[in-house]
Amino acid sequence: MPTETIMQARQCLDTLRANVDAAFAYLHGVCLQDGTLAPQLLDQNQKVSYELAFCVAELEASAALLDYAVSIDTETDLCARVALVFCAETIRSTWQRLLSHAQELGLQSTELLTLMGTDLFVGFLDSHGDVKQLAQIGAELLDRGNARLPTGLGEEKDLVRESFARFADDVVMPKAESIHRFDTDIPDALIEAAAAMGCFGTCIPEQFGGLMPDDRHDSLGMLVVTEELSRGSLGAAGSLITRPEIAARALLHGGTEAQKLKFLPQLAAGQMLAAISITEPDYGSDVASLSLKASSTDNGWVLNGAKTWCTFAGKADVIVVIARTDPDRKKGHRGLSMFMVEKPRFEGHEFSYDNPAGGRLIGRAIPTIGYRGMHSFDLSFTDYAVPNEALVGEDNGQGQGFYLTMAGLSGGRIQTAARASGVMQAALEKALTYAGDRKVFGAPVGDYQLTRVKLARMLAALTASRQFSYAVAKLMDAGGGQMQASLVKLFSCRAAEWVTREALQIHGGMGYAEETDVSRYFVDARVLSIFEGAEETLALKVIARDLIAKAG
């Protein structure tokens, strides 16, 4: 890619980011009351904060994709053009968001209009934002018959990807449709095969039986595995390692040595399946307000209350439960603790377990339009007794539940971005094949310009999601990237909804049939913007709030 073109793209992105930062600074002043940000004023500016969060996510995704295009050493021309057309689309969408809310963001409409008319922006968009550029990429994609671009991760990670791609093709895909259509449990044979592949140990250090090096983090391996499992099926395979990944990060962050030695080897081997129980019926993503009660006893703790949307709770051997150990509700998140609640495995859509130590746990699966196989449960704990050693961190773990949850979810968010990439990959592959085979008005669907443009845009969104997640994984492994983990989830999950929608649309009427894979991808993708931090919560309570605070 010519240096001049790189500089032009970066300058356009940087100029728009400067305007976004100016808007955050304006909101900081608007939302300030008595020297601090006032929650009620932040809430009065939710719409513009939400739009700004997406601006930042798309701009950072564009920057990551541009970095990838610069560094790649194979198929450099195609990768570069994909990056540039994506940058062009981001420039237009960011500018439109800013212009639409200029007055509310403290920006001048006239200056934004002038900006888009400058030689810098006009020159870049004329060269790389033309429909013909997109159509040409789509045509090349159809000719090559391959929906993959090089990962840029090197031979080792590519070998891992190829291995799990074959596993997805041979083991997961043949079972995916049946699991979805009949809402059955994931077969034990599939879980055992996944365990034999080592996928449950991707985020667990080697000293505990996992695949991650003891001396460094390696989130990239986990992302590559997650993508391929999700390409096979989001509900039947892509989410298998999410829960042990979240549990492992929390244990590594705050568990005792005894707890690490007990749980991590079993999680890594797939001998112990995990579920994560955070959400409650009245609070959703508002973790700080959770109310399930944990009362101290002579022998440990007793849990009372309800949880909801606990995925895989039936087949799980251990449920990671966030409970309130301090009855003073005014303490908010500081009164929460994390428990490792063990139970037997149960098949099907409901279970009732009388705990020999005392109390009962009842679970009922929630019927959903997609993401089937793992089942998400409503749970009811009644005087459910757990020992002291079930409290993560034991005595030092009281009041640490919120922080342990955040430590776990940061990894869960980049993994969710990888799940989104996997679903997009599957959708694009099916759309590409169908567009080449299906004839409409005497010509293949893929011969039409609109189809080619759609395919090119789908490829660009997928590649941006993938490379953004890889970039964030490297940041997190180096000890940072918490904000970026939220940004990449925000971007990738929205992109997956759009890409799967376009894949279904390319299939026409057949795309709406349950027997067609793209219909499953479409309903599965819809959940991605909801779990591991709902889109609105991430945009408003995490991303925008943090950036508004820092803008002061």
Which residues are annotated as catalytic?
532
First to last CA, the chain: 38
Q: How far apart are CA 523 and CA 505, in angstroms?
A: 13
One-letter identity of residue 359: G
Complete DSSP assignment for 206-248 = GGGT-SB-TTS--HHHHHHHHHHHHHH-IIIIITTTHHHHHHH
Coil, strand or helix: which one is 339?
Answer: strand
Q: How far apart are CA 502 and CA 431, in angstroms?
A: 8
What is the Cα 112 distance to its own chain's centre? 32
Closest to 518 in 3D by CA, of 421, 434, 440, 439:
434
Q: Is 319 exposed, middle or buried (0-12, 13-18, 19+ CB in 10 A)?
A: buried
Residue 241 backbone dihedrals phi, psi, to 5 degrees = -100, 0
Residue 295 backbone dihedrals phi, psi, to 5 degrees = -105, 135
Find tokens 């970026």 and name the residue: 484
Closest to 79 in 3D by CA, of 67, 88, 89:
67
Distances in Å between the Cα of 258 and the Cα atoms of 254, 399, 493 are 12, 20, 37
Interstrand relation of 318-324 and 32-33 (parallel, antiparallel or unpaired): unpaired
| SS3 readout for 22-62 | HHHHHHHHHCEECCEECHHHHHCCHHHHHHHHHHHHHHHHH
Sign of CA dihedral 515, 521, 527, 532: positive
Complete DSSP assignment for 343-398 = -----SSEEEEE-TTS-EEEEEEPP-SS--SS-EEEEEEEEEEEEGGGBTTGGGGT
Q: How far apart are CA 62 and CA 91, in angstroms?
A: 9
Q: Report the half-sphere exposure of 391 (CA within 13 A, side-chain side).
A: 25
Complete DSSP assignment for 417-480 = HHHHHHHHHHHHHHHHHHHHH-EETTEEGGGSHHHHHHHHHHHHHHHHHHHHHHHHHHHHHTT-
Q: How far apart are CA 165 and CA 171, in angstroms?
A: 10
Residue 439 backbone dihedrals phi, psi, to 5 degrees = -105, 135
Q: How far apart are CA 28 and CA 348, in angstroms?
A: 50
